[in-house]
């Protein structure tokens, strides 16, 4: 784990807050965050490619109400971080998609555990209204810290697993991974077509 990847995990943990917790300035969108990460990894073209593919793959799922879509930040981070080890992008992108799905599951579990903590802060703010700012800052910092730990674990374990599996994949499996990777934008476009048809009616 190089210092650049460590900083990358910190940046990703901060940008993940933009999804639902704070800001919501769309910095967490794949088309923005992946090229931004690629400035640290050194492969801008890979960042643009991952950004476009992630945007198309997750474009039809929005964080509305209780829906927790796969995180474009996590997908971009894992795909680009593992790609720095020399593993082909069509393999690391699969790791990124899996990591984003696992992160969504972990986020649902975290929200359930945080319910009692929110009740405690609600009672405290009723007694001391001046503690609102402190409660918000503590909540954001704790969420960012947990995000960092999860993302660091994904990148650290994913590096060893991606290197190990890529060395074992036969040529036919490599071709299948390439085909699946190149099919991603078409899958995303196919998911968007019904939405466009409904809007025109």
Helices 72-83 and 30-41 sit at what angle, rounded to 10 degrees? 30
| Tens digit of each residue's pLDDT (9 = 90 or more) over 133-178 | 776 777 778 888 888 998 999 988 888 888 888 878 788 877 887 7
User: Residue 69: which pLDDT band, with cuts at 50, 70 and 90?
Assistant: confident
pLDDT tens per residue across span 89-141 = 888 998 999 999 999 888 888 777 777 766 766 776 677 766 667 767 777 78
For residue 189, is pLDDT > 70? no
Going by pLDDT thresholds of 50, 70 and 90, the confidence category of residue 78 is very high
User: Over the chain, what is the mean pLDDT?
Assistant: 80
Q: Torsions phi, psi of 88, nearest 5?
A: -60, 150
Domain boundaries, the chain: 3-109+144-200
Per-residue confidence band for 52, with pLDDT thresholds at 50, 70 and 90: confident
Q: Is 34 a residue whose pLDDT tops 60? A: yes
Q: How many residues does the structure list for the chain?
A: 201
pLDDT of residue 42: 85
Q: In this structure, which long-range contacts are made by residues 48-54, counting pairs with CB atoms below 8 Å and at least 24 apart in sequence?
A: 49/89, 50/75, 50/76, 50/79, 50/80, 50/89, 50/93, 50/96, 51/76, 52/185, 53/93, 53/181, 53/184, 53/185, 53/188, 54/30, 54/79, 54/96
pLDDT value for 201: 52
Distant-in-sequence, close-in-space partners of 136: CB < 8 Å, separation ≥ 6: none
Contacts (Cβ under 8 Å, ≥6 apart) of 5: 81, 84, 155
Q: Which of 70, 86, 66 is nearest to 28 (CA)?
A: 70
Position with higher pLDDT, 80 vs 55: 80
Give Cβ neighbours of residue 49 (< 8 Å, ≥ 6 apart). Answer: 89
């Amino acid at each position: 784990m190089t210092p650049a990847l460590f900083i990358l995990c910190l940046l990703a943990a901060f940008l993940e807050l933009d999804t639902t917790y704070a800001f919501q300035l769309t910095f967490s969108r794949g088309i923005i965050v992946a090229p931004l990460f690629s400035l640290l990894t050194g492969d801008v073209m890979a960042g643009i490619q991952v950004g476009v593919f992630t945007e198309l793959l997750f474009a039809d799922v929005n964080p509305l109400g209780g829906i927790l879509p796969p995180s474009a930040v996590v997908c971009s981070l894992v795909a680009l971080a593992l790609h720095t080890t020399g593993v082909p992008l069509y393999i690391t992108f699969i790791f990124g998609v899996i990591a984003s799905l696992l992160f969504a599951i972990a986020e649902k579990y975290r929200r359930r555990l945080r319910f009692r903590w929110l009740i405690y802060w609600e009672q405290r703010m009723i007694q001391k209204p001046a503690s609102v700012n402190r409660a918000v800052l503590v909540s954001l910092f704790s969420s960012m810290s947990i995000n960092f730990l999860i993302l660091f674990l994904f990148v650290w374990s994913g590096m060893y697993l991606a290197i190990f599996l890529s060395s074992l994949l036969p040529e036919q499996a490599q071709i299948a991974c390439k085909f699946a990777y190149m099919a991603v934008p078409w899958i995303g476009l196919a998911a968007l077509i019904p939405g466009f048809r409904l809007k025109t009616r």
